Structure 1
Amino acid sequence: MSFTTDPRPGPADCMTMTEVRQGVDALDRLLVSVLAERQRYMDAAARIKQDRAAVRDDARIEDVVAKVRAAARAAGLSEEIAEPVWRILIERCIAHEFGVWDALRQTAS
């Protein structure tokens, strides 16, 4: 999928590796932007959660992974790519949220 304002070629339109790399590089920049927004939601969660034990929620992790697997199937993304990527993303986000949670409470003390 390519956005109308996005200059990257669609995968089916690529005729050279330069075009493929151009598309991948553009998508990487987009992914970084989206992941930065996701991180800001983790910052908000750290601010909102009153109990440090609430930062890690195993039921929520499995819910997110199930939703990601379904979205991957619908989008034509291999679940074998999506699930491990999201599990790592979730773990790193939890670690980030713990750090933010702790920092917010230390400065408030």
Structure 2
Amino acid sequence: MTATRRKPCRDMDEVREEIDALDRAIVALLADRMHFINEAGRLKADRAAVRDEARVEDVIAKVRATALAAGIDPDFVEPLYRDLIERSIQHEFGVFDRLHKS
């Protein structure tokens, strides 16, 4: 996925329109990501597998590299992803618990 919207804007209305369009795209991608979080909660055999610190650090390393390649400060992106991952883990615990009730 490459950035295609990087262009000068005529005015603040155009800036806001572009940001709004990007926000809609981000939310759609988050919905896709959440689908796979739900799948992970469904497929994992035990609750201890939900939190995988090695996987967290692997994702963070990949995101930092992707940010750098995209020209974004990795230190800006990392805390956003750490929060996203933590919230995803908490959601996945809920999915796991709901599907694996005793």
Q: TM range, normalised to the smaller chain?
A: over 0.9
Residue 16 in structure 1 maps to residue 11 in structure 2: yes
**1:65 partner letter:** I
Which digits, 9 at most, give the CA deviation of each residue in 1:6-53, with x for residues without a partner?
xxxx34230201000000000000000000100111111011101100
State the identity as a percent.
54
* Alignment gaps of 5+ in structure 1: 3-9
Give the number of the structure with larger relative contact order, counting CA–CA contacts within 8 Å between residues 6 or more apart.
2
In structure 2, what is the equivalent of residue 57 of structure 1?
52
SS at match of 1:13: coil
- Give the TM-score taking structure 2 as reference length: 0.93
Equivalent position of 1:36 in the other structure: 31
Residue number in structure 2 paired with 1:85: 80
One-letter code of the match for 1:14? C
Q: Match for 1:63: what amino acid?
A: D
Question: Which runs of at least 4 in structure 1 moved beyond 3 Å after TM superposition?
Answer: none
Listed as ranges, the gaps of 5+ residues in structure 2 are none
Alignment RMSD, CA only? Answer: 1.0
Q: TM-score, normalised by structure 1?
A: 0.87
1:5 aligned partner:
none
